[in-house]
Amino acid sequence: MHAPHRFQPIDTLEINDFIEFERDRLFIVHQNFLEEYGAAYDEMVPRFAQKRHDPNQSIDKDRFEYLMGPDVAHDTHPISQWGILRSMIACQPELIGRLGREGVDALEFAEITHDFGEAVLKRDIAKGDETPAEEAEEQVAWITAIENTAPPQFKGFLLEVVRPIIFDSEHSLHIDHDVAERIGYILTGMRASRYAFIHQDPLLPHEIPVMSSIARDVRKLHAPVQQLAPQYRSLKNLFHNYSREWDLAA
């Protein structure tokens, strides 16, 4: 994982917390994976930098990650998702009662490992764009990554307990994982919207339409997720706190 200072100072806090407090658990799983497959990320464009937003790749990778934060960088995206899960539980502690301690642990590992298959395949397909065949291929790649890199004390738990949460839409905890992913996706879209429509000062002129494209795309693809807001206080708070950004991206 690259040094956290490549991001804006406010974005480094969660990465530092993750490294400090999860060193013997989630961090070692994440680091083992990066040592084996992390080089693949150098060949992949950042998340949300799909050609439909920036067809000429006018914003270089370092600049894009600096502007948009850890969620768009493949190696730190899992840490961003871990932070979102923690925030979900902090604002809705009754989730712990429903999930149980093992459920919380499994979801934490799901957030850290859910995209491991992408590095094995050296591709990133935007959420919602994957075909069933591509999803099946990614699951096989994920299993390969776990078998090759997971510490022995976590391997069985990851393969038997965590895998279904990530890949089986019928699993009881899959919806919680899906909500965490959607929150991350929407937050990144709202960040782009803030740049595009509210706070353009940090941007160069050619960066504004890229941010606008990302914001509108996320708004269009994830408008229906508001239907889940009554069940998840974190989603409800998100739409309340960022209502201006969400509306401007419509």
pLDDT tens string 65-76: 999 999 999 999
Q: In the predicted model, what is the mean pLDDT of residues 233-247? A: 93
Q: For the chain, what is the mean pLDDT?
A: 93
pLDDT tens string 198-230: 999 999 999 999 999 999 999 998 888 989 999
| Percent of the chain topping pLDDT 70 | 98
- pTM confidence score: 0.93
CA 129 to chain centre: 16
d(CA 16, CA 18): 5
Enter the tokens of residue 21.
Answer: 């407090």
**Residue 37's pLDDT band (boundaries 50, 70, 90)?**
very high
Cβ pair 173, 107 in contact under 8 A: yes
pLDDT at 1 over 60: no
- List Cβ neighbours of 184 (8 Å cut-off, separation of 6 or more): 71, 77, 80, 81, 84
Of 42, 156, 47, nearest in space to 109 by CA: 156
pLDDT recorded at residue 100: 93
pLDDT recorded at residue 187: 95
Is the model more confident about 133 or about 5? Answer: 133
Backbone angles phi, psi at 7, to 5 degrees: -100, 170
Q: Per-domain residue ranges for the chain?
A: 4-248
Q: DSSP letter for 203, please.
A: S
pLDDT tens string 86-141: 999 999 999 999 999 999 999 999 999 999 999 999 998 877 778 989 999 999 99
pLDDT at 4 over 60: no
pLDDT tens string 152-183: 999 999 999 999 999 999 999 999 999 999 99
Burial of 21 per CB tally in 10 Å (0-12, 13-18, 19+): exposed
Enter the tokens of residue 122.
Answer: 């050296």
